[in-house]
Amino acid sequence: MQTKLTAILQEAKEQLQSASTIAETEEIRVRFLGKKGKLTEILRSMGSLDPEERKVVGQAANQTRSEIEAMLAGKYAAVKEAEKQQKFKAERIDVTEPGKQRPLGTRHLITITIDEITRIFMSMGYSIAEGPEIETVYFNFDALNAATNHPSRDMTDTFYIDDEILLRTQTSPVQARTLLKQKPPIKIISPGRCFRCDTPDATHSPMFHQVEGLLVDEGVTMADLKGTLDSFAKQLFGSDVKTNFRPHFFPFTEPSAEMDVSCFKCGGKGCRVCKGSGWIEILGCGMVHPNVLDVGGVDTEKYTGFAFGMGVERIAMLKYGVEDIRLFFENDMRFIGQFK
Ligand code: DAH
């Protein structure tokens, strides 16, 4: 019996030596100590022995059992540790590897320019009004005193949706909408998108941006208009620039003018930016026509006002030296990322 036990112990030892996983170790445990295990069988067969013998064999078998259990415990610990090390190795990350680059976006130059313009007017107490890009013919033309035969109404100049609805060609309809909504004193600017049937080239885009301005109050004169816009030009282009107002025509203002600034690149001597003239046209403006004030039910005996409108792309191109308007809408990060 003793030799049998020694053999079992030896066998268990050998098998455990080659086991390298928890599952294998568990199989060995079942093979020797399980219900039908080799050692269990010996313990079970002891019933047929006489008491003296049983005592001796029992002790020896228990001794063997403890030894196998101790070996199993050692193996379990070793295999567990090995498996843990294996896992660590597999999951190891190289912290010195460069991370993924997530490119950061920047504000678009059009947004930057609109922000600059609005900041200047907000510092003068103007607030921001908004109007729809899909506009009625009424607000885009009629309410703004545009004659029925005005060329800008033509199908070839304007995107019509039907006879009464179009994509606004200017931000000026916000003037009429604001006059209907607010009572004087009124002091608003309105930045936004406009649309015209233009074939894209270096200076034309069928979609572009304008900033509209409207001020209505008692006793407002052309002097207020000139003072306001001169101050605006100096804040936007530099305190050295001079302004010049040339008579012009717009249906919704009378008198109307275009404002030029002295060239901020060459100081007025004449260069490529100002095309040699020393002056750059910046915006349209004028005293609000009484017919427009009438649309909003404003008492034209009591109130007068001025209005102005400027193209954002044009100003951005001049100020930042952008040579082609199409660059604004190509979404090339190499272009957009230059202006921070
Ligand atoms: N809406 C005009 C345009 O698109 C610009 C303009 C000129 C707006 C004179 C005004 C203004 O408010 O008074 O050409």
pLDDT in tens, 246-269: 999 999 999 999 999 999 889 889
Instruction: Look up the pTM and report it.
Output: 0.74
Indicate if ligand 1 lies below 6 Å from the C-beta of 170. Answer: yes
Tokens 């040339």 — which residue?
246
User: pLDDT for 149-164, tens place per residue?
Assistant: 999 999 999 999 999 9
| Phi, psi angles (nearest 5°) of residue 149 | -100, 15
Q: What is the mean pLDDT of residues 280-302?
A: 97
Alpha carbon 125 to its chain's center: 29
State if residue 172 touches ligand 1 by the CB under 6 angstroms criterion.
Answer: yes
To the nearest whole number, what is the mean pLDDT of the chain? 93
Number of Cβ within 10 Å of residue 118's Cβ equals: 17
Which is nearest to 245 in space by CA: 233, 237, 235, 236? 233
Q: Is 192 helix (H, G, I), strand (E, B) or coil?
A: strand
Q: Ligand 1: does its nearest atom lie under 6 Å from the Cβ of 208?
A: no
For residue 170, the ligand 1 atom closest to its alpha carbon is 4
Whether 308 lines ligand 1, by a CB cut-off of 6 Å, is yes
The answer to whether the CB of 251 is under 6 A from ligand 1 is: no
For residue 114, how far is the Cα from the chain centroid?
Answer: 17
* Beta carbon of 286 within 6 Å of any ligand 1 atom: yes
What number does the ligand 1 atom closest to the CA of 253 have? 13
Residue 48 has pLDDT above 90, yes or no: no
Higher pLDDT, 5 or 230: 230
> Exposed/middle/buried for 90, CB within 10 Å: 0-12, 13-18, 19+?
exposed
Nearest to 192 by CA among 314, 311, 281: 311
- The three-class DSSP label of residue 166 is strand
Instruction: State whether the beta carbon of 241 lies less than 6 angstroms from ligand 1.
Output: no
- Give yes or no for residue 253 CB within 6 A of ligand 1: yes
Return the pLDDT at 233.
97
pLDDT digits (tens, 9 = 90+) for 104-140: 889 999 999 999 999 999 999 999 999 999 999 999 9
Residue to probe by mutation, ligand 1, list 121, 152, 172, most atoms within 8 Å of CB:
172
Cα 86 to averaged position of ligand 1 atoms, centre (Å): 75
